[in-house]
Structure 1
């Protein structure tokens, strides 16, 4: 490389950014994250709030320590376009808030049955079991958020927390809880022991296997990086995202216990969303790993979806 430093032309894209520098100076050997840091320091924005692309072709510049400025193709006098993504919130915070809703709503509505449904009848054993399964599921989710997951992106737009949380709070929270703990619900009637045992078994298998796949995915990413290895292990030879497969299995178990249409609706919505995510992940795996990756035909349900 001809010089020890190069000058990059900085151009705003979209909404104006106060104090955005017209140029920055970096070394070709610097990590590409240094571009973000220099612009963030000058504009007094968080680096996570900035989207930076090459002015020549719009290619996103990664904010990473693994790629150098030279690797991005930027040279002296190259232009970079900077977009303000708006206020950001950490992915970890979003996950915590999402799962906290159902975790609080189910016990609240369960113990508020006398006021909510104007009934003096005690909850049935199935309603108690349904509460236990749902609480265990979301407690596990919160544990994984704190101690297992490593996020490829540090933040998301803050406004998304309302959309993401609304889905969980309404459909796996209020809607499911209302129809599960009602005195007229299927869970208030005598159960079929075989179906209940089957439901608990599927729930347990799904939760344990889902946790195993999450640990596998965590170990593919080194701390402090966004790099990934090729996922292998339990279920990964069958579908792109076995964690979604086992998540579905777990909720099918809950549905066999509470026999609530609200649970079925939540499962359908969840499978549709997880299937879309799995499709994108399969595409990313194929692009990232090429022939080293064993291509999968199904995203989350073998032979089905």
Structure 2
């Protein structure tokens, strides 16, 4: 009977968890979320720190209200392993910290830190050019938008991640989008410091930036509305861009950064950030395409291009 209770054998994996019970009794029709909650209450370990896997095939038992114990295939005397993942940090906090660096660093490099960064130049240093001020403004707008989306738009499928990963995750933005771009674009000898820059590059870049940022914001709202608050369930995305590629939000993101690249007068540091970030987004997009195909089957229209229409 579905309402019958079973006893699961509980074993720790990795670092021992104090007070972790050796067995736990749970109804077959209970959700896997209830299993996580029960083990958390018994051991004192937060559900966000625990990863539960089946002893039979080592697959993860999800912390989900929509998955029952019976659905997982576990039966009486099945073995489960419980691992303490260590201190966790909320994904929302992670993104806020990631984007805070490149939001603040450009203005710091352009103004208070400028004399110390370019100390080898004759004094007084030339004031930042109008174009350098414009690039700083574009970077500020981009990362302010990112912070806004993090706080008010995005819904996260996972609540937390290991706290130690915050340094690795932040390095990409703080170093490549913060220190690297700010130092080289605001350099006194940079092309963006010219009093006579290419106006064609400036206006084309501004057009790309504005379109890319607005289209990216629209894509994020479409993705937000696929997931109900407090759930991890997903729908099939549709709307502007989604009929052409898997992740148009990545495509529009790259367009916006190409706009910054043009406005900066083709500064190599911006291009480096685009290439590194683009490769990472391409990897994520292919994983998402494969997940959509597996999760939705024939209901999902397969995409040949995951980011760039007609290319990849």
With the shorter chain as reference, the TM-score category is over 0.9
Structure-2 residue corresponding to 1:70: 70
Q: How many residues align?
A: 305
Aligned to 2:218: 212
**Equivalent of residue 282 in structure 1, options 289, 293, 310:** 289
Alignment of 1:1-305 (within 5 A): 1=1, 3-111=3-111, 112-118=113-119, 119-189=124-194, 190-258=196-264, 259-305=266-312
CA spacing shift, 1:77–1:255, aligned 2, 3 Å = same
Q: Which runs of 5+ in 1 are unaligned?
A: none
Question: In structure 1, how many angstroms separate the alpha carbons of the residues matched to 2:34 and 2:210?
Answer: 46
Structure 1 residues 266 and 2 mapped into 2: Cα distance closer, same or farther (>3 Å)? Answer: closer
Deviation at 1:2, TM superposition (A): 5.7
Please report the TM-score for the alignment, with normalisation by the length of structure 1. Answer: 0.97
CA deviation digits over 1:249-304, x for unaligned, max 9?
Answer: 00000000002100000000000000010011111111100111111111211222
Larger mean Cα displacement after TM superposition, 82-91 or 150-159: 82-91
1:76 shift after superposition: 2.2
Q: Separation in 2 of the partners of 1:47 and 1:222?
A: 21
Q: Which moved more, 1:160-169 or 1:105-114?
A: 105-114
User: How far apart, in 2, do the equivalents of 1:100 and 1:34 lie?
Assistant: 37
Q: CA deviation at 1:43?
A: 1.7
Superposition deviation, residue 44 in structure 1 = 1.2
Secondary structure of the 1:99 match is helix
2:3 and 2:29 in contact (8 A); partners too: no
- Measured in 1, the distance between the counterparts of 2:179 and 2:205 equals 22
| 1:145-196 residue CA offsets vs partner (Å, 9 max, x unmatched) | 0000000111111111000101110000001000011110010012111210
Quick one: distance in 2 between partners of 1:16 and 1:30?
26
Equivalent position SS for 2:71 = helix
Structure 1's consecutive aligned runs of 4 or more residues displaced over 3 angstroms after TM superposition are: none
Alpha-carbon distance between aligned partners in 1 of 2:253 and 2:3, rounded to the nearest angstrom:
53
Q: String of CA shifts for 1:20-75, please: whole Å, max 9, x gaps.
A: 11011222222111111111112211111111111111121110111122221222
**How does the TM-score come out when normalised to structure 2?**
0.95
Offset at 1:228? Answer: 0.1
* Distance in 2, Cα, partners of 1:301 & 1:228: 23
Q: Distance in 2 between matches of 1:240 and 1:15?
A: 40
Moved more, 286-295 or 74-83: 74-83
Task: Structure 2: give runs of 5+ residues left out of the alignment.
Answer: none
